[in-house]
Amino acid sequence: MLAVPTAGTIIRATRNFRRIKQDPFAKAVGISVSTLYRLEHDDPRVQLPVIARAARELNLEFDMRTGTITPPPDVPFAAYGSDELDSLELLPPVPAIPEWTVEICASAWIDIPICQLDPDDPQQRAVIEAGRFRLRIVGKCMEPDYQDGQVIEFQLIRWDHATPLEIGADYVVCRSDGMATFKRLVKVDEDTLSLAALNQRDYPGLLVVHRQEVVRLARVAFRLVGPPPARVPRIAVPK
């Protein structure tokens, strides 16, 4: 029987598999690289709140009562024995995941090319095949959890309008007119979903969408850290 990986092992394997370097990850968690090393090697001196912050940065489920982390589905078990990025070259290649830059605060609803996926478009076909896409977000309406310039990876989810959605989770919601929004789900009624920006000081209020308008949903899979590249094409946002 295979042993269940420890919290530190899961964090190390997930960070390595997602190609996240130690320095930017430690900075995002608010710790030193030496503390990150101790965390990833299960040093008992590392406190639970620090482990919780590291797990949250990778969008991992952490149980504060037991100190355990649920292994993420995108990381193969073989990765748990890998300390370095170079040793992951023998793992199956990660499929190319399309990335777009989006001004998420420009208006309530914006144009994201995942709402009406076209299999004849190479990038959109890649989304269909991988079931994932990435957005480099521009704007501060989802701070403090999502920073301006940060890359977020989303997982397409199956939703038949009867499947429960998780209150407090963050979704890209697509309407039938091809427009989308990235917000936190705060309320679910029989006929509507209520969404909100995390930065309620500057972007107050709720955005309500009728269930029959929703054609596709994607949930945050994990956050990538690091500075944005020099040039990334932006999606045109309707005025």
pLDDT at 223: 64
Every domain of the chain with CATH number 2.10.109.10 lies at 99-224
Every domain of the chain with CATH number 1.10.260.40 lies at 7-83
SS3 183: strand
Reported as a single tens digit per residue, the pLDDT across 179-230 is: 999 999 999 888 899 999 999 999 999 999 998 899 888 988 766 644 433 3
Q: How far does Cα 72 stand from its chain's mean position?
A: 12
pLDDT at 51: 94
Enter the tokens of residue 10.
């899961």
- For the domain 99-224, what is the CATH code? 2.10.109.10
d(CA 216, CA 159): 8
The answer to whether the beta carbons of residues 136 and 103 sit under 8 Å apart is no
pLDDT at 115: 82
Residues of the chain with pLDDT under 50: 1-2, 84-94, 225-239
pLDDT at 96: 66
pLDDT at 184: 93
The answer to whether the beta carbons of residues 33 and 196 sit under 8 Å apart is no
Class of the CATH-defined domain 7-83: mainly alpha
pLDDT at 200: 92
